[in-house]
């Protein structure tokens, strides 16, 4: 997140009429951001929480492929964003709006929210990158895919992503200067990952089109593939390719404005109060819009699929039935106990 606030000085500044109008506009943006993030927090937590429940129970055994581990890791990062990062920033913006936050609480809240968001966002970005690579291997080397992409390797990659994200984000607590940390974050975790995701997206798209071109002649033949397992494998492969492409596009759409804003923040210094307030308002709008990505993610790779919605319906219908049976049994026990006491 951009750190262009100045010890809550924007919220405490008083000046002429034009500056007062600009200050009031800043406070309104803070209030809108607080409400927006509060609502987004609930929706993100629920959508990713239900996704994790379904992936854990998996009633139809349809999510037990190695790439699904990346989906689980992505859902965990999105879930923590919704349950921890969104509320923390919502509280921060609401305190700015009330104009009651102290310098100590301002710095602590902003630093804590920045570290937590850095962890979950880096995990999310890197997971999408690794998922794109996995699908590129599946398309380009279909006969070696099972040997190259194994459950053990995917789990190791996911653990490595979390460890890297934790260590990188905690460098602020180890005494690394904030400016150096911000530049590394922009150059490595934003710019480099953006470029790699874009390259992976292009390579995946080219490889997928080549595969489709190879399959068209085979589809025109009278002899069809009879092996249902092979058909299922190709169907799952197509699904994950589409998911990877959609996730990559979603990431690039939301992260590009944030990256551009970070470069402006790092290499441009506002010369007047008006420029500082306008830059801060722009930072808030761009930063808060990024959190929408963590709500959209589960709808891209799960909620839009009929089999996932069917799994959700099956799990929660089963739970309602179990609850009804348990309640009926308890009711019968109570009636039996009352009858026994009367007799």
pLDDT, residue 26, reads 92
Q: What residue has token string 């309640």? A: 327
Two tokens, residue 339 = 């009858």
- For 77, residues 6+ apart whose C-beta sits below 8 A from its C-beta are 120, 121, 123, 124, 127, 294
Cα separation, 34 vs 101, in Å, equals 14
Cα separation, 263 vs 244, in Å, equals 27
pLDDT, residue 331, reads 47
In this predicted model, what pLDDT tens digit does every residue of 32-41 receive, in sequence order?
Answer: 999 999 999 9
Two tokens, residue 68 = 């699904």
CB 180: neighbour CB atoms within 10 A? 11
Taking the mean position of all CA atoms in its chain, how far away is CA 338?
Answer: 54
End-to-end Cα distance, the chain: 71
- For 158, residues 6+ apart whose C-beta sits below 8 A from its C-beta are 69, 70, 72, 73, 127, 130
Cα separation, 109 vs 90, in Å, equals 11
Residues of the chain with pLDDT under 50: 6-8, 11-14, 222-226, 323-331, 337, 343
pLDDT, residue 323, reads 47
Which pTM was predicted? 0.79
Total residues belonging to the chain: 343
pLDDT, residue 7, reads 43
């Amino acid at each position: 997140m951009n750190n262009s606030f100045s010890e809550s000085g924007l919220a405490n500044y008083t000046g002429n009429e034009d500056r007062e109008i600009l200050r009031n506009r800043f406070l309104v943006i803070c209030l809108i951001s607080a409400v927006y993030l509060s609502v987004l927090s609930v929706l993100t937590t629920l959508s990713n929480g239900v996704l994790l429940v379904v992936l854990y129970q998996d009633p139809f055994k349809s999510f037990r492929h190695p790439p699904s581990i990346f989906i689980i890791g992505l859902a965990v990062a999105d879930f923590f964003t919704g349950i921890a990062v969104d509320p923390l920033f919502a509280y921060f913006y609401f305190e700015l709006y009330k104009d009651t936050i102290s310098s100590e609480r301002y710095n602590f809240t902003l630093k804590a929210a920045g570290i937590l968001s850095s962890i979950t966002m880096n995990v999310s970005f890197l997971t999408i990158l690794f998922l794109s690579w996995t699908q590129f291997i599946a398309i380009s080397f279909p006969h070696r895919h099972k040997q190259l992409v194994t459950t053990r390797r995917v789990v190791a990659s996911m653990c490595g992503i979390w460890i890297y994200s934790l260590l990188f984000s905690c460098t602020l607590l180890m005494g690394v200067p904030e400016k150096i940390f911000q530049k590394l974050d922009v150059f490595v975790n934003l710019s480099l990952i953006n470029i790699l995701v874009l390259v992976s997206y292009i390579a995946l798209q080219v490889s997928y089109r080549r595969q489709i071109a190879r399959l068209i002649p085979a589809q025109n033949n009278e002899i069809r593939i009879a092996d249902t397992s092979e058909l299922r494998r190709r169907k799952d492969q197509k699904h994950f390719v589409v998911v990877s492409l959609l996730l990559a596009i979603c990431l690039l759409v939301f992260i590009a404005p944030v990256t551009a804003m970070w470069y402006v923040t790092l290499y441009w210094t506002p010369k007047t109060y008006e420029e500082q307030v306008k830059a801060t308002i722009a930072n808030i709008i761009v930063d808060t819009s990024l959190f929408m990505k963590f709500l959209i993610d589960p709808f891209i790779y799960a909620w839009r699929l009929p089999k996932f919605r069917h799994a959700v319906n099956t799990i929660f219908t089963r739970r309602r039935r179990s609850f009804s049976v348990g309640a009926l049994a308890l009711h019968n026990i109570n009636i039996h106990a009352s009858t026994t006491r009367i007799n």
